[in-house]
Chains A and B, each alone.
Chain A
Amino acid sequence: MTTHPDPAVRENPGGFPAVPAEPFTASVAPQPGPVAPARPVEVVRHPDQARSAPAPAGDWSHGPDTVSRATDTPGELQPYAELGLRDDEYDRIRHILDRRPTQAELAMYSIMWSEHCSYKSSKVHLRQFSEKAPPSDRLLAGIGENAGVVQVSDELAVTFKVESHNHPSFVEPYQGAATGVGGIVRDILAMGARPVAVMDPLRFGAADHPDTARVLPGVVAGVGGYGNCLGLPNIGGEVVFDPCYQGNPLVNALCLGVLRVDRLQKKEATGPGNVVVLMGARTGRDGIGGVSVLASATFDEGSEQRRPSVQVGDPFMEKLLIEACLELYDAELVVGIQDLGGAGLTCALTETAASAGTGMRVWLERVPLREASMEPQEILASESQERMLLVVAPDKLEAVLKTAEKWGVWATAIGEVTAPSPDGQPGRLVITWRDQLVVDVPPGSLVDDGPVYARPMREPADLILLQADRAETLPRPSTAEALRETVLRMIASPNLADKTWVTEQYDRYVLGNTVLAQPEDSGVIRIDERTGLGVALSLDGNGRYARLDPYNGTKLALAEAYRNVAVTGAKPIAVTNCLNFGSPEDPGVMWQFAEAVRGLADGCLELGIPVTGGNVSFYNQTGAAAIHPTPVVGVLGVLDDVAERMSMGFVPRTGGDHDQLFLLGETHVELSGSEWAWVTHEHLGGIPPQVDLSRERQLAELLAEAVRVGHLSSAHDLSDGGLAQSLVESCLRRGVGAQIAVPEHFAGGSMPFVFLFSESAGRVLVSVPRGHEKAFTALCAERGVPWELIGVTDQAGGALEVRGQFRIGLDELRTVHGATLPRLFGGSEPAEAAPTGRGAAPAATTAASALTPAVDTPENDRAAAAPVATPADRVAPEHTGPAPASRLAADTTAAAEAGFTADAPGGASGQPVDGGHERVDGPERSTGPSGATEPDAGGADRSAVPDQR
């Protein structure tokens, strides 16, 4: 493609006829087709003055459907139902306009009043985010803006938001996902910020479903293809599989931006006489009806015919657009700016005018087109990507066009801001196309006066039964051998398996400020090289929990994201969310939605951090089957100095030194909705783990303080898969093993299993360097956070060992953990390995970085690929079995010498003194029955653990 507009065209003022007041300069971009001769266009205000082109009903061959024609043919049938408008909504449009809408107007109303744009079903609930918002002196822009903006220092602010692009990504995975990234990036850009990172929470159907093999690789390649080409590091996200997302994958994308506080941009089209400029890509037929056709309706048999509704992305154009916009901001050349996303030009024109109360006069034929034959309603509805709408003072127009030219993007003056009417009423949006008046509407009627529904809500009838079917009653592993196999099976299960196959398709290094990225709990980005100021971001959601209890399930998502930010040492300050649900027309779904919103609003109030913005995605439903309610919650935290951030990986120690491992928080028998219940029993039922946000807050404050004073060497959140998963991840991160002793109150029967796999909230695994344990446990006591010494790190052992239960070598863990995704989705090798022993770093490497992950696969790629075939569901390791007694004894001694026998003060608050952390002298072997599993009838879940046995 041509990357530079032909400069010659600049000398031809043809495309832009004179307007009242001052003449405009020409667009720098060549006009499509033959350049229209310059001639004045009257600013038509009254429909009856407009020139009309009478035509037979339904036949536009004589020109577009004009305002005067609409006035003359009030009875003409219009396809409003096909466009997704209800009878009463159509009547309302006629009432607002006092005539039938023109075809272009009908298109505009149908997309602006669609669920996606108008939030008509969710509005009444979303109010709670404002009503219950805790006071914050950091919030510079909140709900209702393109993205929330939070001040993080005297000079700097960050803006972040997560959005969905679910429906397009099912229809066309690559472009759907790619343009999802592009859309959220422009939201961030519109606030005046430089985008600096992206994250992507993804959800797919069953991992082994054939369609997942179509959708996932396309989505991942799309997220990567767009983000990588834009030069934005991808620092985290989620990849979750569940059959409920079959046919309705969730592709959410978050973007983080940084701006100087005084660079905050507005969207208001203020200042009558100011020029309206369209900058970026040309407008094509892609994405027409994206919001109304795709995002606001349930999928059915005809989904595959909707491909033309999916937008097509050009990340190179977006990169140029970013640089051009940032240069405009720095030179203070724009009055207002708005991105073009869903609903395209229609949304941008109406929102900018409505928010300022002004009107707008637009010459639609000036919009640069990819296809000259496009009709006015198509131009207005197109969701072509990589476009921004600028409002520019006339004397700055030349400079704006010059900047656009420098970066090789099209910029075209397409209209001007007009004054509100003298009686104080807001101005009108008046659009002509080749001199014919096709739109004359009050912009606010599209933006603010859309329908609002208090849709019927009803708790799903099956919920009581579902909640009664508790996973705590399922048979549990109760022998050492069964536990070992469960660990291997769980870490290989698709949701818990290593996601390197996905994440290595994303650039995490670009811009050079990525301090932490996946698989860490949070992404951490340095935003000020001078001071080390940075932010941590995590996105979490658990559809199973939300299905079982949408109110607490949403609080659990919030708690997890909050905790993930806290483990880095950051202070959580703000929240964003993407609420993915089924059809709002289903009262059960609507109830789930209302409960989720209430849970999030209450949770944020309890944690004292505001919701700054978000996105709702309804109609994630195929036929009558809705997805699990899936609120994805993002929490942003601040780190005054990113050098202090904590990683999840155990730290290698020289000379046989060990760190002590502490489990913070309380473990209850909480297995309902757990990953274990799903993987081993395909069970979903019961009540999700209890969530106590005041305890989460205490925990976060403790972590921040402990990190600040240097008590910790690693910190890792416990969530899906429980302690076992966190231990494995912390071990594999840098190839450092660990020895764990099951506390006495978890001894016997299936209790070691509960210790390892319960998903109780509010827990964190930390490692504490020698010499800090007393001070650390004292701090826990002071902060009221329960703690328990559960083991030591063990670099020499090269294994994860749970005394009396199992010992699994890190190589085996790594192989099993890493093989699943390559096996499912192809690829030439198992996930990258970081072999222990074979060198944390090459001999000559400067081992200066505290981050240094161990090195890569030692084997040749292809050689390693062949033997991978450890099926996720049938792990039959060769060298299983408990370690020989002699070995165990030796290890016990080593651990004892390493300080495993705690000299920490006993009696920490909240944790009963039962000798559990007084001594570890040969942990008891399993005393359970000989069977592999032990049903725990009735298990007294939720009671304090020591009472269990």
Chain B
Amino acid sequence: MTARVGVVTFPGSLDDGDAARAVRIAGAEPVRLWHGEADLRGVDAVVLPGGFSYGDYLRCGAIARFAPVMETLVDAARGGLPVLGICNGFQILCEAHLLPGALTRNQHLHFRNRDQVLRIEAAGTAWTNTFQPGQEVLIPVKNGEGCYVADAATLDQLEAEGRVVARYVRGNPNGSQRDIAAITNPAGNVVGIMPHPEHAVEALTGPSLDGLGFFTSVLKHLVGAPA
């Protein structure tokens, strides 16, 4: 059976089509979910794509967390549903308290788009289990508010529990604390990542194919997961 992976569209979502394409290339069936509908349509996993949901007004992700789809999603995620938040999706997961900390304005105050090397630190999550620990991958980063911040205790805890999923190496593009690019929840099913793996899934349009691993990981995870 083909896994069905939901991709949520909020008003202002921009990379939803890209996320759906990545899901398809990874071998799963993308299912488009609408922010205004609470129904998750029985999907096996969900991607919250990048963009500027609700124009990033008030605060990135702050309005999106109150969308009807999020109410269902938060419960499902707590119940183990794999959820990947990319960029704006990461911000939404933090606002929804599925992940700790927050994403703030890049330290240099500019939007920045570049091809970024990441080191995979946690290869046990639902979204990174096809990588090797310590593996370096090349993924585009593009954000204006991607600077990850949390208090020292939280950062220490994330590191102690192995919940830092990826770090920026060879240059930190936004000033994130401890070079954090991606984190996960204690159960490892919810991952927030600032760079864009969905933009590194085709040789023709991406800097590498490394992004595909995030999407194939969730398929592997689903095969192994109890029904």
Contact = CB atoms under 8 A, between A and B. Distances in A.
Interface of A: 1, 3, 221, 224-225, 228-231, 314-317, 319-320, 407-408, 503-515, 526, 529, 642-643, 827-829, 832, 841-853, 855-861
Contacts of A3: 11, 54-55, 63
B196 interface: yes
B44 interface: no
8 contacts: A315-B55, A509-B205, A512-B17, A512-B18, A845-B208, A846-B208, A855-B170, A857-B171
B136 interface: yes
B113 A507 contact: yes
Contact of B208 (A221, A408, A526, A847): A847
B21 A229 contact: no
Contact of A842 (B108, B136, B198): B136
B210 interface: yes
B154 interface: no
A231 B108 contact: no
Contacts of B152: none
Interface size class of B (residues with CB under 8 A): 35 or more
B210 A845 contact: yes
Contacts of B135: 844
Interface in B146-174: 170-173
B113 A841 contact: no
Given A407-B11, A861-B172, A515 B204 contact: yes
A645 B46 CA distance: 35
B11 A320 contact: yes
A515 B12 CA distance: 24
Contacts of A857: 170-171
Given A229-B12, A848-B203, 16 more contacts: A228-B142, A508-B113, A510-B14, A511-B17, A511-B18, A643-B204, A827-B110, A832-B171, A841-B138, A841-B208, A846-B209, A848-B209, A849-B208, A855-B117, A856-B114, A859-B170
A506 to B, nearest CB: 6
Given A842-B138, A855-B138, A316 B54 contact: yes
Contacts of A515: 204-205
A302 B121 CA distance: 58
Contact of B203 (A507, A511, A849): A849
Q: Is the interface of B mostly helix, strand, loop or mixed?
A: loop
B57 A832 contact: no
Contacts of B63: 3
A855 B137 contact: no
A316 B138 contact: no
B112 interface: yes
Given A1-B57, A849-B208, A316 B111 contact: no
A512 B199 contact: yes
A842 B132 CA distance: 13
A311 B114 CA distance: 31
Contact of A512 (B110, B142, B205): B205
B205 A845 contact: no
Lowest 4 A-B CB distances belong to which pairs?
A316-B55, A231-B14, A842-B136, A849-B203
B170 A509 contact: no
Interface string B14-58: 110110010000000000000000000000000000111011110
Given A407-B11, A841-B208, A844-B136, A512 B52 contact: no
Contacts of A225: 111
B107 interface: yes
A860 B168 CA distance: 10
Contacts of B54: 3, 316
Contacts of A229: 12, 14, 52, 55-56
B101 interface: no
Interface of B: 11-12, 14-15, 17-18, 21, 50-52, 54-57, 63, 107-108, 110-117, 132, 135-138, 140, 142, 144, 170-173, 196, 198-199, 202-210
A849 B209 CA distance: 7
Contacts of A846: 208-210
Contact of B11 (A221, A408, A514, A827): A408
A320 B14 CA distance: 11
B203 A850 contact: yes
B136 A509 contact: no
- Taking each of B110, B113, B137, B207, which has the highest tally of chain A beta carbons within 10 Å of its own beta carbon? B113
Contacts, number: 156
A484 to B, nearest CB: 30
Contacts of B18: 509-512
A314 B198 contact: no
A860 B140 CA distance: 18
A848 B204 contact: no
Nearest to A525: B205
A526 B204 contact: yes
B115 A845 contact: no
A856 B111 contact: no
B12 A319 contact: yes
A319 B16 CA distance: 13
A229 B145 CA distance: 13
Contacts of A512: 15, 17-18, 21, 198-199, 202, 205
- Taking each of A841, A847, A853, which has the highest tally of chain B beta carbons within 10 Å of its own beta carbon? A841
A316 B171 contact: no
B140 A509 contact: yes
- Taking each of A319, A841, A847, A855, which has the highest tally of chain B beta carbons within 10 Å of its own beta carbon? A855
B63 to A, nearest CB: 8
B117 A316 contact: no
A509 B138 contact: no
A471 to B, nearest CB: 37
A827 B138 CA distance: 23
B130 to A, nearest CB: 12
Nearest to A864: B171
A316 B13 CA distance: 10
B170 A507 contact: no
A515 B146 CA distance: 25
A852 B205 contact: no
- Taking each of B57, B198, B205, which has the highest tally of chain A beta carbons within 10 Å of its own beta carbon? B205
Nearest to B144: A228
Nearest to B132: A844
B115 A855 contact: yes
B111 A852 contact: no
Nearest to B179: A860
B207 A852 contact: yes
A514 B11 CA distance: 23
Contacts of B137: 842, 844-845
Given A510-B14, A511-B17, A512-B202, A504 B207 contact: no
B206 A849 contact: yes
A505 B11 CA distance: 23
A528 to B, nearest CB: 13
A104 B198 CA distance: 52
Nearest to A500: B114
A231 B205 contact: no
A665 B112 CA distance: 38
A529 B170 CA distance: 33
A845 B138 contact: yes
Contacts of A505: 110-113
B139 to A, nearest CB: 10
B11 to A, nearest CB: 6
- Taking each of B11, B17, B52, B198, which has the highest tally of chain A beta carbons within 10 Å of its own beta carbon? B11
Contact of B142 (A314, A509, A852): A509
B140 A851 contact: no
Contacts of A843: 136
Contacts of B132: 844
B55 A845 contact: no
B52 A316 contact: yes
Contacts of A827: 108, 110
A848 B208 contact: yes
B170 A504 contact: no
A642 B107 CA distance: 37
Contacts of B21: 512, 529
- Taking each of A509, A513, A829, which has the highest tally of chain B beta carbons within 10 Å of its own beta carbon? A509
A776 to B, nearest CB: 24
